[in-house]
Amino acid sequence: MARAAPALLPGIAVLAGLALLVGGALGALLAAAPAGASASLWGDTYLGRVIVFTLWQASLSALISVGMAVAVARALARRAEFPGRDLLLRLFGLPLVIPVIVAVLGMVAVYGQNGMVNRLLAGTGLPTGQFLYGLSGILIAHVFFNMPLAARLLLYAWQSIPGETWRLASQLGMSSGQIFRLIEWPLLRQVIPGVAGLVFMLCFTSFTVVLTLGGGPGGTIIEVAIYQALRLDFDLTRAVTLALIQIALCAAFVGCGLLFARAVSTAPTEGRLLGRPDVASRGGRIADALVIVVAAIIVLLPLVAVIGAGLRGPLVDVLADATLWRAAARSLTIALSAGVLALVLGWAILLTSRELRMRRRRPRAAEAVELSGSLVLVVSPIVLGAGLFVALMPLTDVFSVGLELVIVVNAMMGLPYVIRLLGPPLMRVAEQHDRLCDSLGIAGWNRLGLIEWPALRRPAGLALAVCSALAMGDLGAIALFGTRETATLPLLLYQRMGSYRLDEAAVTALVLVTMCLALFVVIERGMGGRGAR
Amino acid sequence: MIKPIAIVAGMFIAGMAFPAAAANHQPTLTVYTYSSFVSEWGPGPAIKQAFEADCACELDFVGLEDGVSVLSRLRLEGANTKADVVLGLDTSIMAEARATGLLAPHGVDLDHLALPDAWDDDVFVPFDYGFFAVVYDKTRLADPPTSLDELVNGDPAEKIVIQDPRTSTPGLGLLLWMQKVYGDDAPDAWAKLNARVLTVTKGWSEAYGMFLDGEAPMVLSYTTSPAYHAIVEQEDRFVAAAFTEGHYMQIEVAALVGSAAEPELARRFLRFVVSPGFQSTIPTGNWMYPVIELPEGLPPEFAALPRPAAALLIAPEAVAANRKAWIDAWLEAMSR
């Protein structure tokens, strides 16, 4: 155990930092709570209903999103030459990073009373329907947000299947069904719990979507109750307690899900690319094409609505506005700083979980480390913001470090994505090269440069792109701390909306979407090398 | 390895190319307000320019999410607050703001105000007011409701988008409006109105966006909303329905913070708030009514707006005492 402590250190340090930040924020808020009774949580039927609904909608959303993502990822894996596949995969990164309010209006334009779908139905004489407001609307929106990313994450599982496996499969003459059962499913079983857990957490706190598309207050999630407690009631104790309940429930649910994960060890491979044997059949080809087209429609229609609204808006006026470009520059600074920070911190967490999993054979401990890193996603942003504010107030002028705070908070929110995107390939590298590295004594920076980087640059590029784009589209953190004059793009968008200027807001959204897409292309190409996808 | 680093570095430099404003050594007056007030399209920039013209000071606006956030921030900071003035609270949260004990008497002469009801408060200085209203698209709604009762009992096929009182100021406004008109029968009225509600949004922007996209023919907004479309877009499709029961009023207020570092400057600013220099930015900046008679009068488009038969208001203390119970009753009625 010569390499004992140092190998575990990076992740432990990051997690300790996270715990300090979150714990400090919640603790400071509790300490600031004015004396006096906080509304009791016991026997609160409203709260009981809210918790049940939160779990219900998040579970359903995760189930449907990941179920569809499996089908989509499989079809995409089988059809590497599908026309437009690369572009589609890039566009798959967008739904999650568009500001929620823009995406919601996009959903309305497609699925609403007067949306594309209903107009199409009316045009063909079919009965139109109202299905956007209620649980169905919440689910439609959550599939739009999460299915594409889940599909991208799952696609990696397929890409990790070594060529030798396919050679064996074709030698044995396996059918499509046998391939799924014997090759794909064991692998999926390893990654699905993590991906589903991520989607579950995202839907758990999806405040604006649930309120706006829920149709009425029947669809209330815990985050709304927190908002209510912290703002009008100013019941800090209740707000913090609810925030803790939210974290604990997510930890329990996602943790249980992870218990189903079974580690599959892969043997060293020659790294040869060989096609799978079951792609030639006509039926399979049609089925795959159908799945891909349906997925493309689900993702593209709302994006088309958002882009279309932007193109119809006062393009020239908005693009000529210097404020827009100042905000864009500021957003870019935040996006790249937060993205790089998230990548570094997430990598550190993964090094520790890899050490636990691979060398110490402690897979449960490794899962726990990764889950702790992901749970920041369900720390109520409004509680975190208020808590950080109170905690930092005695130490510094919070406004003067506002930009740094926003970067740190956005980086934290990116961690779960880094862990999901980079985790599996990082483990695989270790499986395939650990023995070689040990026998040749390759370690430290040498190992990073020679062994890890070539294998990881593509997923690392995607992780950086996703985290940067997320930070670019995030309004939450910047709104929490308050701003002086310089706005970010999402803030500018909200301000325009708040001032009746919805057409200008639509153009701002177009600029934001374009910049996010550019971030994806530039970072993935730049870091992943040519041919990255 | 070189290329990606170069790209990232290049982007960083692009991001840093806009340095922060240079510091100056004049006294600074810090005003907490809501973000849309200080945005490029709000009244903030013009007010800053006008006040700084002869105060030998810097006016520093801090934009928070909304009026309720201004109060939350003040409560979180307590006496350590950086704010000299808070601007953007309103009549529905005034009692809570007063109860914090963090605000001080303003000492401003308010005799010349022209509010619908006389204003006599030694802590809060009103800076604008407006009326909540159902705004409709006249090309899509031939027979708009003429009273709250008609809205409640009207055709469920004609939908309205409203906002959630737990998260939105207009949402809370409608709750109080219903409460004022229906009293103890408000929950039953809500249960009926629920049939016409397409959805309940988190904030005003989502609701108004859905309305403008044609998703519903009616939305809860302000009587002054059509003035924006008339003045900026020369569009007269959108109309605020005048209701016979009267309209619930929102009065937005500013106040002096007791621990202000610049109390004299803050008082000077509050006097400026009720002067023409500030007030003339309100009609087409905040799309609300000014609290004084403007020397230049209101824009002509404002004359076309309905003037409510009665300006309804529930005393802030009563709102504070009952808000929780009313919201609970609303939740129950809307879930029936």
User: pLDDT tens across A471-491, in order?
Assistant: 888 876 666 666 665 678 888
B4 pLDDT above the threshold of 50: no
CA distance B212 to chain A (A): 8
> In angstroms, how far apart are the furthest CA atoms of chain B?
72
Whether residue B284 lies within 8 A of chain A, CB to CB, comes out as: no
Whether residue B202 lies within 8 A of chain A, CB to CB, comes out as: yes
What ipTM score was computed for the predicted complex, to two decimals?
A: 0.86
pTM greater than 0.80: yes
Task: State the pLDDT confidence band at A512, using cuts at 50, 70 and 90.
Answer: very high
Mean pLDDT (whole number) for B280-296: 95
B206 pLDDT above the threshold of 80: yes
Q: What is the pLDDT of residue A172?
A: 85
Q: What is the pLDDT of residue B116?
A: 92
Indicate the average pLDDT of chain A.
85
Mean pLDDT (whole number) for A156-182: 81
CB contact under 8 A, B40 and A502: no
Residue whose entry in the numeric block shows the structure tokens 């958002």: A306
HEC per residue, A34-81: CCCCCCCCCCCHHHHHHHHHHHHHHHHHHHHHHHHHHHHHHHHHHCCC
Q: What is the pLDDT of residue B12?
A: 45
Whether residue A446 lies within 8 A of chain B, CB to CB, comes out as: no
| Residue from B76, B60, B58, B56 nearest B68 by CA | B76
Domains recognised in chain A with CATH numbers: 41-221+253-309 (1.10.3720.10), 313-533 (1.10.3720.10)
Taking only Cα atoms into account, the Rg of chain A, rounded to an integer number of angstroms, comes to 23
Q: What is the pLDDT of residue A265?
A: 56
Indicate the average pLDDT of chain B.
90
Question: How far, in Å, CA of B31 to CA of B82, rounded?
Answer: 9
Nearest CA in chain B to A111: B215
Higher pLDDT, A279 or A189: A189
In this complex, which of B1, B41, B76 lies closest to A499 when CB atoms are compared?
Answer: B41
Whether residue A386 lies within 8 A of chain B, CB to CB, comes out as: yes
Q: What is the pLDDT of residue A480?
A: 67
In this complex, which of A232, A326, A337 lies closest to B68 when CB atoms are compared?
Answer: A232
Residues 6+ apart with CB under 8 A from B186: B178, B179, B326, B329, B330, B333
Which phi and psi (to 5°) does residue A444 adopt? 60, -140
Which phi and psi (to 5°) does residue B125 adopt? -105, 115
Interval A260-310: pLDDT, tens: 776 555 555 555 556 777 777 788 889 989 999 999 999 999 999 999 999
Instruction: Find which of A215-229, A362-376, A474-488, B201-215 is predicted with most confidence, using mean pLDDT.
Output: B201-215
Question: How far, in Å, CA of A337 to CA of A344, rounded?
Answer: 11
Chains A & B: contacts with CB separation below 8 Å: 183
Least confident of A205-219, A259-273, B198-212: A259-273
CB contact under 8 A, B330 and A212: no
Angstrom distances, CA of residue A129 to CA of A117, A132, A305, A308, B234: 9, 9, 20, 24, 34
A214 pLDDT above the threshold of 90: no
To the nearest whole percent, how much of chain B has pLDDT over 70? 93
Mean pLDDT (whole number) for B109-131: 94
Domains recognised in chain B with CATH numbers: 25-129+250-303 (3.40.190.10), 131-249+306-334 (3.40.190.10)
- How buried is residue B231: exposed, middle or buried, by Cβ count under 10 Å (0-12/13-18/19+)? middle
Interval A136-151: pLDDT, tens: 999 999 999 999 999 9
Q: What is the pLDDT of residue A441?
A: 80
Instruction: Find which of A24-33, A88-97, A178-187, B158-167 is predicted with most confidence, using mean pLDDT.
Output: B158-167
CA distance B294 to chain A (A): 22
**Mutation site, B40, B68, B324, interface A, largest A CB count within 10 A:** B40
CB contact under 8 A, A227 and B15: no
Instruction: Find which of A303-317, A382-396, A484-498, B216-230 is predicted with most confidence, using mean pLDDT.
Output: B216-230
Question: How far, in Å, CA of A25 to CA of A9, rounded?
Answer: 24
Least confident of A403-407, A521-525, B16-20: B16-20
Whether residue B4 lies within 8 A of chain A, CB to CB, comes out as: yes
Question: How far, in Å, CA of B17 to CA of B69, rounded?
Answer: 32
CB contact under 8 A, A216 and B63: no
A402 pLDDT above the threshold of 70: yes
CB contact under 8 A, A494 and B205: yes
CB contact under 8 A, B35 and A133: no
Least confident of A439-443, B12-16, B251-255: B12-16
**What is the DSSP code (8-state) at residue B208?**
H
Sequence-ordered strand ranges (E) for chain B: 28-34, 58-64, 85-90, 103-104, 124-137, 160-163, 197-201, 218-222, 238-240, 247-257, 311-312
CB contact under 8 A, A333 and B96: no
CB contact under 8 A, A484 and B61: yes
- Token couple for A212: 């706006």
CB contact under 8 A, A479 and B204: no
Whether residue A445 lies within 8 A of chain B, CB to CB, comes out as: no
Residues 328-347 of chain A with CB under 8 A from chain B are 329-330, 332-333, 336-337, 340
Mean pLDDT (whole number) for A197-210: 90
**What is the DSSP code (8-state) at residue A375?**
G
B183 pLDDT above the threshold of 60: yes
Contacts of A479 in chain B (CB under 8 A): 35, 64-65
Q: What is the pLDDT of residue B13?
A: 43
Q: What is the pLDDT of residue A396?
A: 77
Strands B103-104 and B247-257: antiparallel
Which pairs count as long-range contacts for A176-184, CB under 8 Å and 24+ apart, including other chains? A176/A278, A176/A281, A176/A284, A179/A276, A179/A277, A179/A278, A180/A74, A184/A74, A184/A157, A184/A158
A105 pLDDT above the threshold of 70: yes
Nearest CA in chain B to A327: B15
Angstrom distances, CA of residue B213 to CA of A323, B210, B278: 26, 5, 34
Mean pLDDT (whole number) for A48-77: 94
Question: How far, in Å, CA of B94 to CA of B125, rounded?
Answer: 11
Residues 514-533 of chain A with CB under 8 A from chain B are 522-523, 526-527
Strands B218-222 and B160-163: parallel
Q: What is the pLDDT of residue A457?
A: 87
Task: State the pLDDT confidence band at A376, using cuts at 50, 70 and 90.
Answer: confident
Contacts of A337 in chain B (CB under 8 A): 12
Question: How far, in Å, CA of B202 to CA of B195, rounded?
Answer: 19
Interval B247-274: pLDDT, tens: 999 999 999 999 999 999 999 999 999 9
Q: What is the pLDDT of residue B133?
A: 97
